[in-house]
Amino acid sequence: MCANILFFAQIHAENIGEVGGKGANLGDLFSAGFPVPDGFCVTTFAYQSIIESSSEMEALLKECTKVNANNLDDIKDIGKRIRDHMESLAIPSTLQKEIINAWKSIGDNYTYAVRSSATAEDLPSASFAGQQDTYLNIRGEQSLLDAIRKCWASLFTDRAIAYRARNGFDHRQVYLSVVIQRMVHPEISGILFTADPVSGNRLVTSIDASFGLGEALVSGLVTADLYKVKHGEVISKKISTKKIMIESLEDGGTKQSDIPEEKQNQQVLSDTQILSLADLGSRIEQHFGFPQDIEFCVEDGKFFVVQSRPITSLYPMPKIESETLRVFLSFGHIQMMTEPMKPLGISIFQTLFPFGKEQASTTSKYILPAGGRLFVDPSDILRYSLVRKIIPKILSNMDNKMSLALQEVIKRPDFTAVPPSKEIGKAVRKNISPVVKEVYQNIFRRDPFLAKNRVEIYIQEQHTEWKESLTGLEGYEQLVKMQKLLSTSLLSIFQYLFPFIAPFLLTAGLLKKYLHDWVQDDQALQKLSQSYDGNITSEMGLAIGDLADQLRILPDVVQYLQTADDSTFFTGLDKIEGGKQFQQVFHDFIEKFGQRCPGEIDITNPRWREKPTLLVPAILGHMRSVKTGEHRRKFQSGAEQAKETEIRVLQQLKRHPIRYRIMKRLIKLYRNLGALREHHKYFLITLLDECKKVIMKQADDLVVKKVIMDREDVYYLSLPEIIQLVKGEEIEDLSQTIKNRKEAFIMQQKWTPSRVMTSEGETVTPRSKLENLPKNALVGTPVSAGVVQGKARIVYKPEEAQLHEGEILVAPFTDPGWTPLFQSAIALVTEVGGLMTHGSVVAREYGIPAVVGVEDALKKIKDGQIIRVDGTQGFVEFVE
């Protein structure tokens, strides 16, 4: 039988469906012996019986379901109508009797706090904090029943309706319980976070405390004291001026009072109380198993807990057991893809990473998943002082904010105090020494002009070897072979191709210095960075332009492409005038670049060869905004400017033979090796695409055998799990596992990963500083010089872009899959990136200003807003 009333002593975590998140947490703590004031819950069954007693409620709920989360007027209207209706409903006499009996059994002489507790509230994945109402210091039978009715109605406050709509919760599937708890009349109230809610540090307890009831603090009427505790010590105290407090009235209700002047700057909690409270919070966190947001109060010197819920704002930590401080770097920020990866994509990269493995087929302990993203743990090699100098410099070319954050961590005494491992040192020297020798040869001895041919031969031979190794194998054997090839390929690519990239990076720094010191020209490097001959990504961009030019004379094909479907894309072209002509050039493009796509490091993202319509917006956009042949002319002009700059610079140095020879060598290295800086990624993505072909072939077989329902279900499995299924072994609760991972992936898309995180859970985010900035300017990293003003075009996904001539591309990040848009943009702004990341290099090649690493750019810049991008100083300015 479904109970209408459950006392705290009867409630445990599994009762969430009957008493909601708040009620379940309080009952669970009460039953476990924590200092929770006694109480009971009017369960969700009672709420449902009230709803079912109404003949109008179903129609109102249907109307509520159709409301758009952004239409505030409609939300306000439907919310008021539902609340008014619910408050008019009578509570059945039998239910009234049960409530009054429960109230009397605890004590009708007390006052009570009456709180709403929804079934989708105070969960590890969704807080819903503050969405429903609370009524304090309720005294007497009628006041209690009125407060309960108001709590039921508060499930449909405007903010609660909007929150559920935005987060995908069905209004009809969220039920409400009402918590009735004996009121504590505290001298002090506050909120305790068992992890620092700002930095995310799991070892820091953060406490806000003020005088009187906690409502003054929660509602923002008073600035509370702030205390922080770590390792059993108070590490900081911020004593505020507290002018008002909220107190309970003797006959029920509350009032606002002034705090006597002599108490306004007094420390609310003593140090002893702070440490005792932190210990209580730690025990509650251990009880639930994750960090908690706890409301507490102090009555007659005794602590009481009146609410506890998970802190849902914390980004998940990589799972690692370590007593020493470690540091994690976001792989997505390095690779320009901060969106979550599906489990298969994560598993592939864990297999790829060559270090920290017991055997080749296992995953690396140095590349760790958290929140659907990958984090690299370089802590062991950063124990060496020389490496602590080198890695931040390398990172500054990828993401300057990441470099600054890392420097902050590795200077800390608790990081540098850990001695380096001799075994790690030997392994690093063994793998790095051959690379260093090759770098030396490429810088000082070899002809850089011959490098492109060497690199392309290596890529072609290795790709052929890969395909031949997999040919003739089937099923389980083919997957195992692929796994083995994967586990060694990244190290091979690093050892062979990095010696061509490293000289380019080193040369860039030296050129910048010598061009400034020797020829007093800070703009020369920008011009030398244009139109590299043979850059694989630039060639892709030019090929997109060629496709657009082809379409200009094929109007029927243009019309077809606007409604084309991936499944019939090529066969449909056969039926269109000019279709076969376009199909041939498009086929050639796919042959060379079809393995690419936005977010290409995640193997599960659809490749252009799989979804050719992803390219259509970029091709049509180019056709709209770039004149015929202009992309080729622009590229040629950039190459000529680079050559003219080289001649001019060398001419200035002719009277200084040594400087002349050094500069000539540096420019030759920069121009020839700069063209190769993206070949390594192109090759890696090519190999990943070969893996995808193998995996999807096995996925189709698993569908035929009814092991999985859909071929893309394999995206939510790891590589070892797929191998296990193909081998014929079962995975327990496979369909539920896939379902759970799909739901987790949706949730992960709402999280924002940290660039740098410590093993304590701390997010480290130092900010760049510039002086004399325009008002409200957004600061980033300058990566391509120049100043331009235009209309901002916000683009989240390149396949959805509507970029027109003269617009500024504003994006979360860019990788090679975004290259088609660069022909149309007059400037670039991204939230992620550094001097040598994809978008920066391409922007310099195309000669457009760019600022990267602009935090929250897509939130702060509005689509269509006029902005000024200063790629020389590194900021974005809003134009009135």
Q: Which residues are catalytic?
A: 838
Supply the DSSP symbol for 233. Answer: E
Q: How many helices (H) and strands (E) does the chain have?
A: 31, 25
The CA-based angle 91-96-98, given to 5 degrees, is 140
Give the separation between CA 745 and CA 740, rounded to whole angstroms.
Answer: 9
Cα–Cα separations (whole angstroms), residue 18 to 24, 103, 152, 177, 179: 8, 19, 14, 7, 11
Supply the DSSP symbol for 732. Answer: T
Q: Which two tokens stand for residue 75?
A: 């939300």
Q: Contact, 449 vs 672, CB < 8 A?
A: yes
Closest CA to 379 of 426, 430, 431, 414: 414
Closest CA to 89 of 18, 138, 153: 153
3-state helix, strand, coil in the chain (%, to 5): 50, 15, 35
Give the separation between CA 198 and CA 218, rounded to whole angstroms.
Answer: 17
Burial (CB < 10 A; 0-12, 13-18, 19+), residue 30, is buried
Give the separation between CA 811 and CA 863, rounded to whole angstroms.
Answer: 11
3-state secondary structure 20-72: HHHHHHHHHHHHCCCCCCCEEEECHHHHHHHHHCCCCHHHHHHHHHCCCCCCH
Closest CA to 13 of 308, 396, 409: 308
Q: How many CB atoms lie within 10 A of CB 221?
A: 15
Task: Tally the C-alpha atoms within 13 A of residue 797's C-alpha that lie toward its C-beta.
Answer: 12
Q: 273: helix, coil or strand?
A: helix
Task: Tally the C-alpha atoms within 13 A of residue 370's C-alpha that lie toward its C-beta.
Answer: 27
CA 301 vs. chain centroid, Å, equals 43
Give the separation between CA 755 and CA 767, rounded to whole angstroms.
Answer: 12
Q: How does strand 367-370 pair with strand 373-376?
A: antiparallel
CA 665 vs. chain centroid, Å, equals 42
Q: Contact, 726 vs 735, CB < 8 A?
A: no
Q: Which two tokens stand for residue 592?
A: 């060379």
Give the separation between CA 578 and CA 575, rounded to whole angstroms.
Answer: 9
Q: Contact, 24 vs 15, CB < 8 A?
A: yes
Name the residue type at position 48: Q
